Structure 1
Amino acid sequence: MSAVADVVVVGGGVIGCAIARRAAQGGLRVVVAERATPGMEASFAAAGMLSPLAEADQPGPFLDLLLRARSLYPEFAAALREETGVDVGYGDAGTLYLALREEDEAELEHRFAWQSAAGLGVERLDEAQVREMEPAASPATRWALRFPGDHQADNRALGRALWGAAARAGAEFRLGADVVALLHEGGRAAGVVLAGGERIRAGAVVLAAGSWAGRMEGLPRPVPVEPVHGQIAALESIPPLFRHVVDSPRCYLVPRSEGRILAGATVERLGFRKAVTPRGLVGLLEGALEIAPSLADAAIVETWAGLRPGTPDGFPILGPDPDIPNLHYATGHFRNGILLTPLTAELVAGVLLGHPPDASLAPFGIQRF
């Protein structure tokens, strides 16, 4: 049995759904093949930070990509609300990055030096200014950086909104569809094969399967994506403890409007195992209390673990395959999948709709490996 589409998107996380939405809005027949439920893997397990300045270590194409993605978010969030009625929790209070120990200061000094030299809008705050902005910040705070442009979104709401928006635009979702192989025809990608033998024939294939991106047969080259395990704890915070996202070199705290604060996140390489562990949870809680000692008696309301798709250089894999026409990559976003969602969709869907590949894709092509 075969189904026919213009595009089949392998993976229904926020990246896959966003690409499906844009391609369907452009008039293409889109099928999303999702092995479980859309938005329930890395997309669901994230913390929703939109933080290029807190994430990037130096200027360059990756930072440029992150900044460009961040600039799209206000309009992106508004469009999704208009299309679906879902508020994706876009918040623009900014991010504080605290120096809590003597050894933290060198890192913050370095970050402040290169970011201020690049005109990136970073602010340096002394301890009194930090406490004025966020009275719950630890008395051990020495000083801090403020990134007023680094924002946040509710990643779980974003996943629901993008699934709904893609479906409303006409994308067909095939749930429980485990893609096992790439179809080839005349040296081109021609669709995919599902675990039960069904074929979905398509004019183009987009590989947006996150940590599972390299597990299908028939790919022209290895896809060097591996799962990077991350654990998060949610604590009760009523009234909200912070306005800003508050970060340190060991932990981040993300305030949510529903009265929770997220403490994250571990970075572990454990294969495809997902588990909240005593070691991971202790580390998160120690990091959270170092930032905000008043959380010591807060209720732990949820814990979870997820698998981020990591690459050897920490950068995403984006754009067309150099050798197999009609095969496109949108994976390996690691810690920045939520941030990069709207831009990845614009860049990849643009190629699907017949536009020349954007020059910003070049540093992130799979041919670099």
Structure 2
Amino acid sequence: MRVLVKGAGVAGLTAAFELVIRGAVVTVAETRHSLGGNASWFAGGMLAPWCERESAEQPVLELGRDAADWWDAATPGQVTRAGTLVVAAPRDAGELDRFASRTSGHRRVDEEEIARLEPDLAGRFRRGLLFLGEAHLDPRQTMAALHKKLTAMGVDFHFSADAQDVSGFDRQIDCTGMAAVDDRLRGVRGEMLILRTPDISLSRPVRLLHPRFPLYIVPRTGHRFMVGATMIESQSSDPVTVRSMIELLSAACALHPAFGEAAIIETGASVRPAFPDNLPRVDAHESTIAINGLYRHGFLLSPAMARRAAELVFDHDKPAEPADEAYGKRRSA
């Protein structure tokens, strides 16, 4: 089975992996000149299905709960399993209760335990939620590790390639995101910052709840922190706006004032493809299978979507069922 994967973002890389471990001969074509620069490159890398369930449909939890295990197996050493800490200022305690009521997989922690979990947050927050089963990774390091592994497994990568000629392939997997021809898609713009400061140390992603501008901060190596992210209904890929920069920095300083002295080493904006219900789909039409609509859940949901696409490639007798129909059945059950 010879399969062409179009796109080397997180969807394309995970699809290539699921295909090659099933015995396919895989070629990946990417229009960019190298790995990175797409929406996956600016992701937070949080494998947080229970936290995401607070604002997402139940399938996000069901499909994402095994993501950390998948990434651990595919890219050993890239996943950090330290959970997620959710906090709120005392005046926003109602936001914490609301968050807790809309999801599961957490336990409440008090001021003393918050100080044990994150010493640099000692005395700053009285209550929080700990989602111990969650994890995180560095998207850029992880994508590079997966790319290296796929190359060693015999996957052929072609960068700066439009892949218009699909002759010689039995099937193709379209993982081109916003570049795909699909009028159901809309763009959701996300903006992020990367800060560097040796004055703060965090062991896990921390989400700060705020009625106007909730924030997450994900620790990286080298005293770096990814701060994100906005969600704007827009297909603009322009640089980060002044308003977003102010809001992100203000929220970061609300988590800890020392972020006010941090160096801003990178800003970024990307457009994430989303369907109207914000759930991904695996669609099949003749010899083409499309994975799209990962929205803000790229690293969380791409393993499940890649498995489904690979199953469709190798199971010719199985009808091609769009992922949203499967979701509907699961919800009604």
For normalisation by structure 2, the TM-score amounts to 0.86
Contact persistence 2:49–2:64 (CA under 8 A): yes
How far apart, in 2, do the equivalents of 1:18 and 1:244 lie? 24
Contact persistence 1:8–1:200 (CA under 8 A): no
Matched to 2:153, the amino acid is A
Matching residue within 325, 335, 353 for 2:296: 335
Give 1:147 deviation, angstroms: 0.5
Number of aligned residue pairs: give it: 323
What secondary structure is seen at the aligned counterpart in 2 of 1:248?
A: strand
Give 1:145 deviation, angstroms: 0.6
2:248 maps to 1:284: yes
Q: Which runs of 5+ in 2 are unaligned?
A: none
Contact persistence 1:112–1:145 (CA under 8 A): yes
How far apart, in 2, do the equivalents of 1:357 and 1:252 lie? 41
How far apart, in 1, do the equivalents of 2:20 and 2:174 lie? 17
What secondary structure is seen at the aligned counterpart in 1 of 2:12?
A: helix
What secondary structure is seen at the aligned counterpart in 2 of 1:170?
A: coil
Contact persistence 1:126–1:144 (CA under 8 A): yes
1:312-337 CA-partner distances (Å, limit 9, x unpaired): 1111112x42xx33321211111111
Contact persistence 1:347–1:358 (CA under 8 A): no
2:28 maps to 1:51: no
Contact persistence 1:316–1:331 (CA under 8 A): yes
The match for 2:138 is 154
How far apart, in 2, do the equivalents of 1:59 and 1:71 lie? 21
Give 1:357 deviation, angstroms: 6.2
Contact persistence 2:215–2:229 (CA under 8 A): yes
The match for 1:131 is 115
What secondary structure is seen at the aligned counterpart in 1 of 2:233?
A: coil
The match for 1:185 is none
Contact persistence 2:29–2:157 (CA under 8 A): yes
How far apart, in 2, do the equivalents of 1:126 and 1:174 lie? 52
The match for 2:17 is 21
Contact persistence 1:240–1:260 (CA under 8 A): no
Matched to 1:141, the amino acid is F
1:3-50 CA-partner distances (Å, limit 9, x unpaired): xx7222121112102211221232222222211133330111112111
How far apart, in 1, do the equivalents of 2:323 and 2:101 lie? 28
Matching residue within 5, 8, 28 for 1:32: 28
Matching residue within 59, 66, 69 for 1:68: 66
What secondary structure is seen at the aligned counterpart in 2 of 1:9?
A: strand
2:197 maps to 1:213: no
The match for 1:259 is 223
Give 1:139 deviation, angstroms: 4.7
Contact persistence 1:23–1:349 (CA under 8 A): yes
Contact persistence 2:199–2:258 (CA under 8 A): no
Matching residue within 83, 90, 93 for 1:94: 83
Contact persistence 1:232–1:265 (CA under 8 A): yes
Q: 1:134 to 1:356 in 2, by over 3 A?
A: farther
2:148 maps to 1:164: yes
Give 1:151 deviation, angstroms: 1.0
How far apart, in 2, do the equivalents of 1:62 and 1:22 lie? 20
Q: Which runs of 5+ in 1 are unaligned?
A: 79-86, 180-193, 215-221
How far apart, in 1, do the equivalents of 2:317 and 2:83 lie? 35
Matching residue within 5, 12, 25 for 1:9: 5
How far apart, in 1, do the equivalents of 2:202 and 2:109 lie? 16
Give 1:253 deviation, angstroms: 0.8
Q: 1:172 to 1:47 in 2, by over 3 A?
A: same
